[in-house]
Amino acid sequence: MSEVFKNYIDGKWLPAQAGQVIENRNPANRNDLVGLFPASDQGDVDTAVAAAKKAFASWRLVPAPKRGELLYRVGELLKTHKEEIARIMTREMGKVLKETRGDVQEGIDTAFYVAGEGRRLFGETTPSELPDKFAMSVRAPVGVCALITPWNFPMAIPTWKMFPALICGNTVVLKPAEDTPYTAVKLFEILQRAGVPPGVVNLVQGRGEEVGVALVRHPDVHLVSFTGSAVVGREVAAACGQSLKRVALELGGKNAQIVMEDADLGLAVEGALWGAFGTTGQRCTATSRLILHHDIKTEFIDRLVARIEKIKIGDGLDESVEIGPLINQAARDKVQSYMEIGRREGARVLIGGSAYDIGACANGFFFEPTILDRVTPNMRVAQEEIFGPVLSVIEVPDFDAAIAVLNGTRYGLSSSIYTADVNRAFRAMRDIEAGITYINGPTIGAEVHLPFGGVKDTGNGHREAGTTVYDIFSEWKSIYVDYSGRLQKAQIDNAE
């Protein structure tokens, strides 16, 4: 009999009110049932939001340094349980252990980083234009925040959102992806053990069409932070716009790595491998386009194919495995469909291109690491987010053409260029249309103390992580103190 898990609402573990559950299965082995998790609905959302609303009245008054101390305890507990959570995460979403350990570490890093911000939620003081008058700005909490997160980083992304929200004095309701509910349960067990007061953090498991929609439309939710596809992001933005609700969106990417003729090819090959096939290509920052200078294309592809041939595919719990499964059958079907799309458009599969079901992989959702050659910039495989281990190769004659191709999509999240020319590097930093640019590094590997997000269809301009995240989860208040003892009129013509 599989274990049945619960929601966490108002400091209590509760089943879904309707009594329904969702199966959570290991994508590396469909026969492995990880557990049964709540299929929540509007009633569960209403209860969670009411708890968060009630808790906000007292949580907002807890001094920010004290909130930071609590988050520091959360970070210490995450350190203690890092290996346990990493193994749970690999089992429920498939990526290899070294990556799930890194996912948990991002949560740890975020906890410690945000804990320090409890003493640095700076406002500004500024001179007033009038005598005997003091002027300053301070941050204030927003209220109840709904956090809707994806399955590919089931610890990093929830903590990126939750910890900054909490340090600012907000309360939260988290709806994690239905593919990764167990990692969220472990996070909330730790939050409970750390002493987070009832109602301050709430977990509602379930499907997006029930729980996600209910949260986005709930009148007592003041802010929605969503990470996912651009298609769903538009729907979230439209719904929030109807009620003038604050919304932060981190959406898709079609990221590219440029390799110039003067690059360190060995380094660039390793960067392309890690960027394209880390997390089986299931990252919003994954390298999905490889833009190669004509002079080095043949040599580079030969090296890359030789390296791919050595990659070990399998269950991520095996320490020797480099690539795990895709998240589910629908994801594998989508990747497979793009193989046919690419072939029809004239692309050529150099390596891979098929589901991988050999031996122990027969019961999982595995797909071969794939290179598509002869890709042109306007092909669908060069424009649309595939979200799998597929790398489209585009040949260019020079630097200017490379930059034009890189910028030629509706997304703008991450980017990379390999070159030994410092002048080119600085031009790339200036001219690339992306929220993130790497010089001589792959497109993946964000650090929690720098802003994360992108331009164009990658989001609505907000940035998670770094110090910019506090502009999402706090309101600015301007304060004026007039100690002149007389009426002073501002915003009129005082000039003599």
Catalytic residue list: 250, 284
29 and 364 Cβ atoms separated by less than 8 Å: yes
Give the single-character DSSP code of 389: S
Phi-psi region of 452 (alpha: psi -120 to 50; beta: other; left: phi over 0): beta
**CA-wise closest residue to 390 among 292, 267, 308, 310:** 308
- Residue whose pair of structure tokens reads 């991520």 in the numeric block: 316
- Cα 458–chain centre separation: 11
Q: What single string gives the DSSP state of each residue in 120-152? A: ----EEEE-SSTTEEEEEEEEE--EEEEE--SS
**CA-wise closest residue to 257 among 393, 390, 385:** 393
Which amino acid does the sequence have at 93? Answer: M
Nearby residues of 152 by Cβ (< 8 Å), 6 or more positions away: 93, 95, 279, 282, 283, 284, 327
What is the rounded distance in angstroms from the CA atom of residue 350 to the CA atom of residue 301? Answer: 9
Which two structure tokens, joined as six digits, stand for 319? 């320490």
What is the rounded distance in angstroms from the CA atom of residue 152 to the CA atom of residue 385? Answer: 15
417 and 439 Cβ atoms separated by less than 8 Å: yes
Strand order from edge to edge, sheet including 12-14:
12-14, 7-9, 201-203, 171-175, 144-148, 223-227, 246-250
287 and 65 Cβ atoms separated by less than 8 Å: no
Give the single-character DSSP code of 367: B
